[in-house]
Every structure is written in structure tokens, then in C-alpha cells.
Amino acid sequence: MFAKSLGADPARLHFAAHSHHLWPDASFEGQVQCWEDAAALADNKWDKVMGEVWPEAQAHVAKELGSGDPSAIVFASNTHDHIIRLVAACPRQEGKPLRVLTSDGEFHSARRQMARWAEGGEISLSKVAAEPFDDFSERFLGEARNGKHDLIMVSQVLFNSGRLYDLIRELAELARTEGPWVVVDGYHAFMAVEAPIDAAVASSIFYLGGGYKYAMAGEGMGFMHCPPGFGPRPPITGWYAEFGDLTAPPGSQVGYTRDAMRFMGATFDPSALYRFNAIRRTLEENGISTGRVAARVAGLQALMLDLVRDTALGEAELLNPLDNKPHARFFALRDSRAQRWCADLMARGCVTDVRGDVLRIGFGLYHDEEDVAAFAALAGELS
């Protein structure tokens, strides 16, 4: 399934699957199909993209999420695009900044943008500390329940620590069309945690994710699940949102579709959707589900912990220890030597990544016991 990616650099040991996941061979087939459709259909390719490719991708995402509603899925080039549209559309007190609650463990696209909006006075930002991790979910929910926020946003899997926010159902109960809105960043959960939401939760929260990480489809496919009735007329709107059943007659006011297309932008590169669909078809044909991959990865993670126990990595603080709950697809090891370890591993042909003093080691479908043993041997050379 990964012959092209693995064969492109046979000596590379890639343990950054939580970042740039290696691409399966099916993604190449999808990319080629996108090009061939553009060549054969030219302008008419959009009939196929919007009539076949887009709906297929919506169905795959909805099935994976457990939401059961493909019409609630909209795509953009990245999740940052969705965040901008969400913040613009979210109800707020007249004449006052949007009141936002988030954590101090959010991914860069949200962290930086929120900080800049707060700096400029467009939003009033409150952040809940992710540490101590053991009671983060309860502390965040308690703050969310105080009724002082218009937008509540949290990651299902915190990207820097790999800890899971496990009270999404309780958070969803706070959501109202008039505010607050609840937004869950599921980028590190999508296709890593089986059925991360269900139909009940999906009826009241926005959920963000994309193709770059465990979906294995690369960049260009950010998606957003949009609960019905929330933000019927987003102020940031592209001309693709005009397609479909509009809620206003032509010429009276700007019309919107009733489904997730109301948050749609404009012309986009559809190649990521082709890649994603091809990958999902291959997985289904081979009976490979997220649950099966997660179980396989859990075994590899346990093996790695055992093999590196007596190395320098074994001296680091494991921020997300293994337990009986769903686990992130990566380990987060905190140590003052993390930056040096990452560089030393890279010099030995092993790809990991580092965030401050946290070394992240990611696992994917393309790893096996031999890869883990090879990594452990390299870890034994670290000091």
C-alpha cells in the first residue's frame, strides 16, 4: 500500500505519522485521475467534481466521524479558512468583541489567529491551561459552563501533549444557535480515534479536521462538520455557496443553501478530494478500519515503550501514557534534551518532530515491529 512512499527513500525511518503522514499508493492513483479528468473534461470537470467527487468525500467523512450526515460536511483548503468563517458568523453581544474560550494547547492555526484577534481587540480571549492534564477536561467544561463565552473551541486530541478531551458530549449540551457555539478541533483524532462523535453530538457542534495527517491524503482538504441551524447566513461567503437550494429568491438578498455549503468559499483545487476518495476506497476494499489500525498501533506503542525503557528516551516524561482509553497516534516525551534528540535522530535517518521540549513520535499504518526495533536501536545511541 505504501510502495511508492517507502521506496522513494528506503533508508528513511519515518516516525512523524502525526504530522506529514506518508501517502499510500492509492493517493497517486487519485492524483492522476484528477489530472486526467481536467484534461478530458476541461471546464466540465466541475460537474464531476461537485456531482461525484465532492459527495463521495462528504460520505466518507460523515461515516468516519459517526455523524451520519454527509450534507453537513463542507471542504476548504485548510482548517484556518473554516476558523475565519466561524468567527465571523458566530453570534455576539452587539458592539462588543466576540468572547472566545479555548485552551493553551491548541494547534498553531487557531492559536496564532486567536492571539492576533485578541491583540487587535476583535475578540476577548480566555484560555484554560492544559496542565495538569489529568483534570483538564473537567476544568475546561467548568469554565465553559459559566455562560460568559460566545465561542468555545477545544482540541479533541491536544497536538503538543497527545492528551484527549473526553467530555465532548457534555460540552455539546451547552451549544445554542444563538450562542455559545461549540467547536471541536479533531485534526489529530480524525482517522485516529474511531467514530470521534455521534449523531447526537453532531447536531450541535462544529467539528474540524483534514486530510494531512491520519487520512493520509495530504494537504488541501480541510473539512468542517456544520450542525444544522447554526449560522444560516455566514458573512464571509464565496460564490460556490450560491449553488443548491437557496433560501432567498434571486435579487432580494444574498441567498444561502440550507446545508453545510452555506459556509462554502470559492474556486479550489480538488486534487486532495480525489486522493482522499481513492485512499478510502482502498481501505474499505481491504477491510482496514480506523479501529483495526488503532489496535495495531496500540501494540506497536506498547512494544516501543518496552524497548526504549533503558535508553535516554526512557528517562523523559511521557505526557500521554498508555491506558485503556483511546490514545493519540503519537507519544509526547518531555525532556530538556528533546531538541537535540530530534536532530540526532534526523542525522541517523529517522524522522520525528519536536515542539519546544516535547519530542513527538508518531505511528501509522506503514509501521511494523521491525520499524519499532530499528527505532529503539537508534534511541539506544542517544544521550
* Cα 360 to Cα 146: distance, rounded to the nearest angstrom: 34
The per-residue pLDDT for 250 is 61
> Closest Cα partner for 9 from 20, 344, 273?
20
Among 228, 248, 282, identify where a domain stops. 282
Residue 141 sits in the same domain as residue 240: yes
Q: Do 359 and 352 contact (CB within 8 A), yes or no?
A: yes
* Cα 222 to Cα 244: distance, rounded to the nearest angstrom: 21
Number of separate domains in the chain: 2
Among 282, 303, 323, identify where a domain stops. 282
The per-residue pLDDT for 168 is 97
Does residue 14 form part of some domain? no
Rounded to two decimals, the pTM is 0.96
Residue 189 sits in the same domain as residue 131: yes
Residue 33 sits in the same domain as residue 144: yes
Q: 254-260: which pairs have CB atoms within 8 A and are 24 or more residues apart?
A: 256/232, 258/228, 258/232, 259/71, 259/72, 259/226, 259/228, 260/71, 260/72, 260/73, 260/74, 260/224, 260/225, 260/226
Give residue-wise pLDDT tens across range 53-111.
999 999 999 999 999 999 999 999 999 999 999 999 999 999 999 999 999 999 888 99
Q: Do 230 and 177 contact (CB within 8 A), yes or no?
A: yes
Task: Grade residue 325 by pLDDT with cuts at 50, 70 and 90.
Answer: confident
> Closest Cα partner for 14 from 330, 244, 265?
330
Residue 301: CATH number of its domain: 3.90.1150.10
Residue 68: CATH number of its domain: 3.40.640.10
The per-residue pLDDT for 44 is 96
Residue span of the structural domain in which 332 resides = 289-379
Residue 235 sits in the same domain as residue 129: yes
Q: Write down the H helix ranges in 42-78.
A: 45-48, 54-65
Task: Grade residue 246 by pLDDT with cuts at 50, 70 and 90.
Answer: low
The per-residue pLDDT for 249 is 62
Residue 233 sits in the same domain as residue 353: no
Residue 223 sits in the same domain as residue 372: no
